[in-house]
Structures are given as structure tokens and as C-alpha cells.
Amino acid sequence: MRILTGGFSHESNSLNPIITGEDDFVVLRGGELAEQAVFSRHSSAGIIATLKKAGAEVIPTVLARAVPNGVVSAPFYQKIKAELLDRAREALERGPVDGVCLALHGSMKVEGGLCAEGDLCGALRKILPGIPFTAALDMHATITPELLRAVDAFAGYKTAPHTDSYETGELAAGMLLQALDTGKKLYTAAQHVPMMIAGEKSETAAEPMRSLIAACKALEKPAPGRMLAASLLLGFPWADCEYNAVTVLVSAFWEDKDRADQEARNLAEELWRRRGEFRFRTEYYRSKEALAAAYAAVMEKGERPVFVSDSGDNPTGGAAGDATEFLEEILATMDQADRLPGPLLYSGFYDAPAAAACAGAGEGAEIDITLGGNWDTLNGRKIPLRVRVKKIVPDFGPYHSALALVSYRNILISITSKHIGFGDGDLLPALGVNAADHCLVVVKLGYLEPCFRSIAARAIMATSRGCTNELLETIPYRKVKRPIYPLDPGMDWRPRQRSG
Ligand SMILES: [Zn+2]
């Protein structure tokens, strides 16, 4: 069996003015992809390991991944697409290809508004018609008609924060192998539910996601006539797109298609019935009140570390990472920040010029920089600060970002030269910082990643301004199809009888 694999994965925030380009992506080609040393927990690694374990010949094409950010550069998208298609054609010249399994996100957008996955998979399908084609998707995938036409079966992440990317790849590859082993055709039932869900309302440890995901898993339990994969794809609310919706996908063998249709309807109905239960699970306030609550928790109750998420500017949700509303709130209350029992840690800012200035000055230097406001000029402005450079890391992580740690009075701030986000548990340790040692930690994140959740004495979410504004009702959408919940809270909806 010869199975073609690869992927192109990005979550594109259309509210963010940054164009995500070649420098932002890590691209693995051919043998590099097959070895999978760089992204060993990604769905692509799960796909390749599963195929190899089954004795299949893996045909690695290309895998391109970047941290969520603004929409993808059109020339770069076309370049990677062409390369993937060329490698597929070359593989065909060497012999028959039996199946395809790709690692995708599902909410990648290209400059001009193109929904990337449908375009990419549609083009690949033309080269490889009539063979089984499966894909692993992020939970925040936006499902378009083009994608449904091109791909036979899908597996989506079942955890938020996402910790099961690898396992999702295993499931996607497993479905493909089962189809090839049995010679049975694959089928996917789809129900689009007109809802948008703010990222921080969908943690899978909490209701209603906990029981909705349990219902998906129950359908996948080994049993005669079982469904191969049941997925809730929540869409991505920070892209203004006509296809924004939550989609239920149930993939099965063709012979079980009626049951798949019925199960997709049931899940969609249950999701809609429980729409009002999608709520923030942590206490949340606007920035000013969030900061006041955090000071009170540290100073009056002795809670530490207290975490505050600067959630409106969460780069792992594709925000710019340089909005300054929350920083300005801190600077406006510096007398309180200075009285904290230890430095307030702020992680951090994506600011390439500031990172370069710090690296140029060197550790120990005191310099004038501006922080923020390079990209998100709607929600940020350049804040002048005289800082002490505490630490420089010239090359961090798979995206090769420089890091800087600076101090300003009683604040410590991390700065990245690349748009890599602040959810990576290795970032602060690389700067010699242990978040647990700090009384108050502000992170540009939404829900806390496990590395922070496990040490937080208290988690507060600031619904700050930025490109990942959690208050969807306040975003001026132009393309999103109406009515949609919760923008149109009084609307009614029922699932369609037929899927698609
Ligand atoms: Zn996601």
C-alpha cells in the first residue's frame, strides 16, 4: 500500500493585519517529514506512525505549519500548494497511490479570502480521484462545501486546550487503513449548526463540551456498525467568513451512511439545545477590573501565583500579540504594581524591533524601547519604556524566534522576535524564569495552557481589546451569514433531514 501524506496547517485570524508569510512557517519536505523530529506530537506524526506501523509505504510530500496569525500570503500558499501537488504527480509516475491522509487545521485563509483547505484538497483530489482520502482537523476547523466534496472522512481534535493532535492523526490514518483493508467506501455526514463559539467558552473539561465530546467518543467505540469518527468542529470566530458555523461530522463506512446521518443530526440537535451553556469558565472582567481583582487577590488574600489572561490579544488564537490595552492599565496603576511582593511577570509581546534592540544592547544594558503597536494599531500603540535587558535567547524553538526578558520598575516582560505566542511551556524557562515564583502573571492567552493551569492559584480572564476579542457580539462582522447564534440570540434552528 502506498499512502500519500503531508499537510498545510494554519489558523488565520482575518481581524489581524499581519500577513503570515514564508518566514513564519516551518516547512518539512520529503524525508524530513517522514522522520517527524520537529513536530513529534502533531497530527502529522500520528498519521505517519500509524501508516508505518501498518506496513504501508508512506509517501511524504510537504508539511507547512505556522503559529496562528493573520491570513496567509497568497504567493506562499500557491508555492506550497504547487509543491504538494507536484510531489503527488511524481508519486503517481512511480506507481499507483492507494490512499491519502493529510494533517490540516481547517481554518486557514489566504489573502483575498480563499478558504485554503477546500482549495488544496480539491486540487489534490483531481490528481488522485477515486481513492480513499482522510484528513485530521483542528477542533476550530471551518467546514466548507469544497472540503466536504474532496475528502471522504475526517477526524477532529477532541480536546481544548488541544492535547490530542497526535491521536487525531492516528484516528484519521486508521480510518484510511480500514477502508483499504476492507475495500469499503467511506462516507461523512455533515450538519452545520449556525453558531459561533468564543474560544474560551469551549474547554472540553467543562460542560457542555465534556458530555458532547463523550457522546462523540461513544459513537467511535469498537462495535458492529460503529461510526469511524465523530467530530465537533467549532469553527473560528475571529475570521469573517461566510462559512462560519459549528459543524458536526460523522464519518463511517458507506453501508452505515443512514446511521451516520442520524447520529450527526442527533449531535447537532444536542449542541443547539445546549447553546446557552457555552460560557466562560473562569471569572472574567474588562481589563481594568481584571487587574484590580488580581492585585486584590495577591495583596489582600495572599493568593499566588494569580494568572490574568490578556485574552483579547491571544497570539495562539491568531491575534497580533502587540495590543497594549492591558499594559497601559498596568502602567496606569504602577504604584500598586510596585508594591507587589515580587515582580509582575508579563508574557509577553511580539515585537521584533524591540527584541532586536535588546539583543543589540546586550544583557545588563539599560535602553529606551517602544513596546507594542507595530501591527494591531487599532488596539495598540507604541509604548515608550526605559528597560533593563535581563536575558537574551538568540534562537528559541522550531520557529527560531529570538527572546528577550526586560525589566521596567517592578515588571518583567518577555518579548519575542517572531509571532510564536506565549502558551509554550518552554518559553519562560528558556529565559530563566519560573512562572510559579511570581505573585502575578499576565499572559497573552485565553484559557490557560496546562503548563500554567497546573500552577495557577487563581485564573482571571481579562476580556481585553484585540484581534481575539472574546465578546463576539461586539465584533463588526460583514461576511458571516445571519442569523447566527449568539449574534442573533432569538433565532430558531432545526437540523436538515439530509446531511451535506
Ligand atoms: Zn484550535
How far is ligand 1, taken at its centre, from the CA of residue 138, in Å?
5
How far is ligand 1, taken at its centre, from the CA of residue 34, in Å?
24
- Given a cut of 80, whether residue 163 has pLDDT beyond it is yes
How far is ligand 1, taken at its centre, from the CA of residue 429, in Å?
25
Please name the residue ranges forming H helices in 204-282.
209-220, 257-273
Mapped onto helix, strand or coil, the DSSP state of residue 188 is: strand
pLDDT at res. 36 = 72
How far is ligand 1, taken at its centre, from the CA of residue 427, in Å?
20
How far is ligand 1, taken at its centre, from the CA of residue 460, in Å?
21
Calculate the alpha carbon distances from 488 to 100, 239, 480, 481, 496 in Å. Answer: 40, 18, 12, 11, 20
Question: What is d(CA 96, CA 267) in angstroms, rounded to the nearest whole number?
Answer: 38
Domain ranges of the chain: 2-277, 283-469
- Given a cut of 80, whether residue 378 has pLDDT beyond it is yes
DSSP state of 200: G
β-pairing, 344-350 vs 306-310, is: unpaired
Secondary structure (DSSP) of 293-360? HHHHHHHTT---SEEEEEGGG-GGGT--S---HHHHHHHHTHHHHHHSSSPEEEEEEE-HHHHHHHHH
Look at residues 175, 213, 230, 155 and name the one whose alpha carbon lies nearest to residue 499.
230
pLDDT band at 469 (very low <50, low <70, confident <90, very high): very high
pLDDT at res. 500 = 53
How far is ligand 1, taken at its centre, from the CA of residue 362, in Å?
37
pLDDT band at 200 (very low <50, low <70, confident <90, very high): confident
- Reduced DSSP (H G I as helix, E B as strand, rest coil) percent helix, strand, coil of the chain, to 5: 35, 25, 40
Question: What is d(CA 463, CA 313) in angstroms, rounded to the nearest whole number?
Answer: 9
β-pairing, 458-462 vs 283-285, is: parallel
How far is ligand 1, taken at its centre, from the CA of residue 300, in Å?
36
Backbone torsion region of residue 34, taken as left when φ is above 0, otherwise alpha when ψ lies between -120 and 50, otherwise beta? alpha
Look at residues 204, 319, 182 and name the one whose alpha carbon lies nearest to residue 255.
182
How far is ligand 1, taken at its centre, from the CA of residue 337, in Å?
34
To the nearest whole percent, how much of the chain has pLDDT over 90? 94
Of the chain, the end-to-end C-alpha distance in Å amounts to: 30
pLDDT at res. 223 = 85
pLDDT at res. 497 = 78
Query: Across the beta sheet with 306-310, what order do the strands follow?
Result: 283-285, 458-462, 306-310, 440-443, 344-350, 411-416, 401-408, 383-396, 366-371
pLDDT at res. 281 = 85
Phi and psi torsions of 54, nearest 5°: -80, 0
**Cα torsion for 20, 24, 29, 34, to the nearest 10°?**
-110
Asked whether the whole model's pTM tops 0.75, one would answer yes
What kind of architecture, by CATH, is found in domain 2-277? 3-Layer(aba) Sandwich (3.40)
Per residue in 10-25, is it b (16+ CB within 10 Å) or e — as a string? bbbbbbbebbbbeebb
How far is ligand 1, taken at its centre, from the CA of residue 162, in Å?
7
Question: What is d(CA 36, CA 49) in angstroms, rounded to the nearest whole number?
Answer: 9
Which residue type, as a one-letter code, is found at position 419? H
Q: Which residue has the higher pLDDT, 161 or 364?
A: 364
Burial zone of 79 (CB within 10 Å; 0-12 exposed, 13-18 middle, 19+ buried) = middle
How far is ligand 1, taken at its centre, from the CA of residue 243, in Å?
17
How far is ligand 1, taken at its centre, from the CA of residue 103, in Å?
13
How far is ligand 1, taken at its centre, from the CA of residue 105, in Å?
8
Q: How do residues 266-277 score in pLDDT, each as one tens digit?
A: 999 999 999 999
Query: Any bridge partners for residue 115, and if so which?
Result: 109
Question: What is d(CA 134, CA 264) in angstroms, rounded to the nearest whole number?
Answer: 18
| Residue 276: Cβ within 10 Å count | 10
- Given a cut of 90, whether residue 141 has pLDDT beyond it is yes
Q: How do residues 25-79 score in pLDDT, each as one tens digit?
A: 999 999 999 887 778 999 999 999 999 999 999 999 999 999 999 999 999 999 9
- Given a cut of 90, whether residue 496 has pLDDT beyond it is no
Q: How do residues 252-307 score in pLDDT, each as one tens digit?
A: 999 999 999 999 999 999 999 999 999 998 899 999 999 999 999 999 999 999 99
How far is ligand 1, taken at its centre, from the CA of residue 290, in Å?
25
How far is ligand 1, taken at its centre, from the CA of residue 278, in Å?
16
pLDDT band at 499 (very low <50, low <70, confident <90, very high): low
| Residue 489: Cβ within 10 Å count | 10
Look at residues 304, 297, 315 and name the one whose alpha carbon lies nearest to residue 446.
315
DSSP state of 415: E
Q: How do residues 396-436 score in pLDDT, each as one tens digit?
A: 999 999 999 999 999 999 999 999 999 999 999 999 999 99
| Average pLDDT for the chain | 96
Question: What is d(CA 296, CA 288) in angstroms, rounded to the nearest whole number?
Answer: 12
- Given a cut of 70, whether residue 209 has pLDDT beyond it is yes
How far is ligand 1, taken at its centre, from the CA of residue 139, in Å?
5
Q: Which residues contact 94 (CB under 8 A, 6 or more apart)?
A: none
Q: Summarize the confidence of residues 387-391 as an average pLDDT.
A: 98
pLDDT at res. 498 = 65
Cell numbers standing for residue 18:
499581519
